[in-house]
Amino acid sequence: MRKVLRFSVITFLILATGYYFAIENSAYEVTYECSGVMTKKPGGPNSVNPITAFIKIQMWRWWSPGRLNWMHLPTDGLLLFEIPNGKHEVVRVTYDGVYLNLHPWLKATMEESNAVHGQFSPVSKSLRLELSEQEAFSGSCKLKEACQWLGVPSVCGL
């Protein structure tokens, strides 16, 4: 009886530890500071304003529960776009091997012509994001904060 109890406790501890490390390391995050321009498109007052924005990219690893989203849309991660004291958007990310393609998060907005969409290049660190039919951001980004993998700071591949 004691052997069964000891085996059960050890098995539970091993499984709990494995689950903890799998969940804690199922995503990695990278934060960038992006300098660029916010462009107002024709139809409104046509203007170009220099601006600094921030993006946080969260990419999910293949075993992550985040990849199994409830809307059954292909998703490799999320991107949070933020202008300090202003606009912020959350978009769905798919990775095609070269670019991070940015799509609207909600399925209902995918058919709308003014849905947020764009592209981020991990190589050149450039971002192009159409925020609406009248507004777009484009600029280059520099690494601000990298994620941690098993408690060790690293860039994690982005």
Write out the two tokens for 88.
Answer: 């912020």
CB 139: neighbour CB atoms within 10 A? 21
First to last CA, the chain: 51
Cα R_g (the chain), whole angstroms: 20
Per-residue pLDDT of 37-70, as tens digits, reads 988 876 656 688 899 999 999 888 776 666 665 5
**Domains of the chain and any CATH numbers:** 27-153 (2.40.128)
What are the backbone dihedrals phi and psi of residue 110, each rounded to the nearest 5 degrees, phi first? -65, -30
| 77-132 confidence digits (pLDDT tens) | 888 999 888 878 888 888 888 899 998 876 555 555 567 889 999 999 999 998 88
Residue 61, C-beta contacts closer than 8 angstroms, at least 6 positions apart: 25, 26, 27, 28
Q: Is the whole model's pTM more than 0.85, yes or no?
A: no
